Chain A
Amino acid sequence: MYVAVKGGERAIDNAHAWLAEERRGDTDVAELSYAQIREQLSLAVNRVMAEGSLYDPDLAALAIKQSRGDLIEAIFLIRAYRTTLPRFGYTLPVETGEMACDRRISATFKDAPGGQVLGPTFDYTHRLLDFKLAADGEVPEAPVADPRMEATPHIAEFLQGEDIIEREPSSDAVPGDLTREPMSFPAGRAVRLQSLARGDEGFILGMAYSTQRGYARNHAFVGELRIGTVPVEIEIPELGFAVEIGEVELTECETVNQFKGSKTVPPQFTRGYGLVFGQSERKSIAMALVDRALRWEELGEDNLGAPAQDEEFVLSHADNIQATGFLEHIKLPHYVDFQSELELVRKLRHEAAELAETLAAREAAE
């Protein structure tokens, strides 16, 4: 007979115990340490830090371990933890021109001051599974050279002299903070870039790709892509000057885009900008393309109705924590709503059947 759906509490506890066991896997296989994840799965760690909006490789590694490698789940853990942290202040803007670069390439010039530095890249590797890695992860030591000590100037600066690329207007305005104010539209470029920086890599990639395939195409050259560390400084009110509190690894991408010019502006190159925590190359390039597409209005371009030009569309759907939560909530019980729909559809079907019967009877009579 009818068994009331009771015992939700015990079911939840048991499910979580099982989950913990599944996470650990076969106990005959050595357990992963979070340090192993941090060191050997560093690109996953970087993605979790970038989309979790929290720069802490240890915590990101722990989150990956706890989430069984589900990176969106790991990002969620980091976001939820981040909410509980007190906010002491804001750092000064980081100076990416002073970045200690591990990698720095430009697609627009054969060579430039600072040079083309490939760095630790997958580019030009042949994507052949390395079966040796399955047996033995030892690697020969990579050759070492002396690091360049002088700063690596931004490529765009070289074009600026001719005014052939747009100048970024400098501003001391305090940028909005999307974690402290509700999003409203138009969001403005600062909030837009914040949203893209923590947005889902797959979503931003798809949006960027759509611009390349003709949905608001704006051919982008990678003017520059650089990966490296920058110092983080914060002003201490009691001291009256800024002190360095640490450093973060960043990936920065600046694109150089075609621009025909408008009624007010002569033809000139324009820019798209991407900046992401850690080594996150794909994400930063994609971000720069989407940033550029979203700038159609300020540049006096046409709205072609492309998804990547639509600020409200892009920003409202870029966050994977919002998206996954809402998507997955449909597995929660909805039986009350379903019941009301069930009754409505039954009623409508009943009425439709009655109507059909009346019509058939009338036809037969005629």
Chain B
Amino acid sequence: MSDYNFAYLDEQTKRMIRRAILKGLAVPGYQVPFASREMPMPYGWGTGGVQVSAASLTPDDTLKVIDQGADDTTNAVSIRKFFEKTAGVETTEETEKASIIQTRHRIPEAELTEDQILVYQVPIPEPLRFLEPRETETRKMHALQEYGLMHVKLYEDISQHGAIATAYAYPVKVEGRYVMDPSPIPKFDNPKMEMAAIQLFGAGREQRIYAVPPYTKVVSLDFEDYPFEASKADHACDLCAAKDSYLDEVILDDAGNRMFVCSDTDYCRSRRDAGHTGRLGEEAA
């Protein structure tokens, strides 16, 4: 692949993307338009995240790519391979060893550090999109901090269902200013967004980049009498016995038996390596 520049994109394009990233970091939660390029993978499959990662990578970086928390899901494998080929950077599955982590739908369980960048793949960057389909309108609403519609939506949830019926892509307010879509992570992950690492969000098809700098205030929207609740399946991991990690439910047979396992595969592996064993840990090993 020597015909392509380091990390696929040409330097001018990377520069343009870096400018958008810096602007995003300067105005946390604000969606910066950028001239997204056509990548050799389809729109909707992480082209925004890939472009942000490509613009952030240096030859000394170590890259980790996860999808649904796992390193071995097909699209994570495909994106990791892409950067192995086009950037030749080292890759890892270990969260601690990665300097850049590209993710889809999850934040790793292990606490991230100041030396790390978390890059999110974002399908629909606009948190107000399903309340107002027009970009011309939603940009105005952000400019005027007109977020009443969002609160009405959450209120209607409560009056209809007795609870806020949003389980993932749960909207947050960043540093008291912009309402932001955290990408479709489960709301369990929302509290982790106040972290030491830099968080960058890339939406390729929608041509938007946004960012949350380290230690920025990120508040999940709620009401005093209906406070936000980060929820997960009420079980422990059947492989590593973790009670604090987000769990996937796996159907075992047609008799309705199921097991719960960590969605973060690296977290689960490291716990099992450290000697933790869950209900079905022995059998699976």
Contact = CB atoms under 8 A, between A and B. Distances in A.
Interface string B69-101: 110111111100100000000000000000000
A80 B39 contact: yes
A347 B165 CA distance: 10
B231 A343 contact: yes
Contacts of B168: 336-337, 340-341
Contacts of A6: 72
A56 interface: no
Interface stretch (B42-50, B143-151, B191-199, B218-226): B42-50
Q: Which of B74, B163, B165, B231 has the most CB of A within 10 A?
A: B74
Given A336-B68, A348-B161, A182 B38 contact: no
Contacts of A329: 42-45, 123
Given A11-B74, A332-B75, A325 B44 contact: yes
Contacts of A333: 67-68, 73-75
B259 interface: yes
Q: How extensive is the interface on chain A, given as a class?
A: 35 or more
B258 to A, nearest CB: 10
Interface string B257-270: 00101010000000
Q: Say whether chain B's binding surface is mostly helix, strand, loop, or mixed.
A: loop
A336 B246 contact: yes
Interface in A125-184: 179-184
A328 interface: yes
Nearest to B252: A2
Given A2-B250, A2-B259, A336-B69, A312 B134 contact: yes
Given A8-B72, A185-B136, A337-B186, A326 B205 contact: yes
Contact of B280 (A1, A184, A339, A341): A1
B247 interface: yes
A335 B43 CA distance: 20
Interface in B1-47: 4, 8, 10, 33-40, 42-45, 47
A42 to B, nearest CB: 24
Interface string B47-70: 100000000000000000001111
A9 interface: yes
Given A79-B38, A326-B205, A337-B168, A312 B135 contact: yes
Contact of A4 (B136, B208, B284): B284
A336 B73 contact: no
B248 interface: yes
Given A333-B67, A337-B168, A322 B43 contact: yes
B280 A2 contact: yes
Contacts of B45: 325, 329, 332
Contacts of A348: 161-163, 165
A347 B207 CA distance: 37
A12 B72 contact: no
A121 interface: no
A5 B76 CA distance: 13
B67 A185 contact: no
Q: Which of A6, A12, A86, A332 has the most CB of B within 10 A?
A: A332
Interface string A90-105: 0000000000000000
Interface residues of B, number: 66
A11 B81 CA distance: 14
A84 interface: yes
A82 B39 CA distance: 10
Interface in A313-361: 316, 321-322, 324-329, 332-337, 339-344, 347-348, 351
A337 B184 contact: yes
A105 to B, nearest CB: 35
Given A2-B259, A7-B72, A185-B136, A341 B167 contact: yes
A76 interface: yes
A321 B38 CA distance: 9
Interface in B157-201: 161-163, 165, 167-169, 184-188
Contacts of B131: none
Given A185-B135, A322-B43, A336-B105, A82 B38 contact: yes
B155 to A, nearest CB: 16
A151 B72 CA distance: 62
Contact of B165 (A12, A324, A344): A344
A13 to B, nearest CB: 10
A83 interface: yes
A223 B108 CA distance: 61
Contacts of B247: 339
Nearest to A77: B40
B72 A312 contact: no
A12 B248 contact: no
Given A12-B78, A316-B135, A322-B205, 12 more contacts: A2-B238, A8-B77, A9-B72, A329-B44, A333-B74, A335-B263, A336-B106, A336-B263, A337-B105, A341-B168, A343-B232, A344-B167
Interface of A: 1-2, 4-9, 11-12, 76, 79-80, 82-84, 86, 179-185, 312, 316, 321-322, 324-329, 332-337, 339-344, 347-348, 351
25 contacts: A2-B261, A5-B70, A8-B74, A8-B76, A9-B72, A80-B40, A83-B39, A182-B34, A183-B207, A184-B135, A185-B135, A185-B136, A325-B44, A329-B44, A332-B45, A332-B74, A334-B68, A335-B248, A336-B105, A336-B185, A336-B246, A337-B169, A337-B186, A347-B163, A348-B161
Nearest 3 CB-CB pairings of A with B: A325-B43, A329-B44, A325-B42
